[in-house]
Amino acid sequence: MANIVLGVTGGIASYKAIDLTSKLIQSGHEVRVVLTDNTLEFVTPLAFQAISRNHVYTNTFLEEDPSNIAHINIGEWADIIAVVPVTANTIGKFANGIYDNMLLNVLAANTKPVLMAPAMNVHMLHQPSVQENIDKLRGQGVEFIDSETGFLACGYNAKGRLASVPDIMEKINDMLNENKELSGKRVLVTAGPTRERLDPIRYLSNFSSGKMGYSIADSFKRRGAEVILVSGPTNLPVPAGVTRIDVESTAEMFEAVKEHMAADIGIFTAAVSDFTVKEQSGQKIKKQEGNVPSIELVETQDILKYAGHNNEDMYVVGFAAETENVEAYALGKLESKKADAIIMNDVSDTSIGMNSDDNEVTIIFKDGSKVPLPKMAKTLLAEKIADTLTERVIR
């Protein structure tokens, strides 16, 4: 996890920096925010303070701690400074050595990597002086993430919109991990529920949200791995840089897994259906008084078992989400599936069960060793899981 200084300049896109702060905190980073005077016309320091749980800096001459000089101290504290959004005004001042606010003083005294994310009207963005200033800063080592094309506050549908928060997150993480330890490795992740159709409008499924699997996919991607995410139906956005393959049924997930088993690590978090209907009705099953239809079920393909028994070099990691005798069932699954590790969790606890934001797990390895991970947000837990598996498999 990293120390990130987030500079926010005054534009209509300033509000998106609040979301970025939240996402960075959820990912386990420490964030300190610096606002320019013009930013205060759009957002308040309190919003950033509440999310970052740190003092928000707005005034070069307001020294909260007399033992240090704030604009120097926070730059030394930072691993990276991201200015999101950055206006033409701030780009021009920084490029030409004008340091007349707290953020510009932080940048002037900084020796750490700097990322800037421009957001402005398309004509402003394409002004020759603005482009010259951007080129000048690039020549000095400042990184830029390009603006997007889309609807702008001025009414144009053109380039100039702030890059998306996931893309900015990916860029920040790329800069933090220039020597990515999993570069050249491939990771296969399954996530979410599966659906087994009874008729054209009904299906069997479960309460899995996919949050754990998506967070794990994101964690491995940010370590430089090529990540294939085979996902059942969810409402989650695709992590930046991850290749998602959408499936519905267990049979479809099985076929996708078979096709992508040439991976270094396979992490099977999906809550797949154990059963499917023997014969799916082509028409809606009608309610008939006094006649309750019976539905014959058959077992689905055991995806984890197939991966454990049929892989060549893939390190196979399964999940054991249980409601009773959790460790006994997890150990049984570890052996019967021929997995290299099982991540067990007690989903009878609704605070860490399916569709919750938190989880608590223990990783059990086939050599008998265990790594308990206490209750935390699934995004943070995914980082711990990725760290543990990387240590075991790659290093």
Instruction: List active site positions.
Output: 154
Q: What is the CB-side half-sphere exposure of residue 344 using CA atoms within 13 A? A: 21
Q: Which of 16, 10, 2, 12 is nearest to 163 (CA)?
A: 16
Q: For strand 80-86 and strand 3-8, is the pairing parallel, antiparallel, or unpaired?
A: parallel
Is 277 within 8 Å of 296 (Cβ atoms)?
yes
Maximum C-alpha span of the chain: 84
DSSP 291: B
- Altogether, the residues listed in the chain come to a count of 395
Q: For strand 114-118 and strand 143-144, is the pairing parallel, antiparallel, or unpaired?
A: parallel
* Planar angle of CA 383, 254, 365, nearest 5 degrees: 40
> What tokens does 134 get?
């951007």
> What tokens does 131 get?
């482009």
Q: Which of 131, 285, 259 is nearest to 197 (CA)?
A: 285
Which residues contact residue 381 at a Cβ distance below 8 angstroms, ignoring those fewer than 6 apart? 212, 215, 358, 359, 360, 361, 373
> What tokens does 135 get?
């080129």
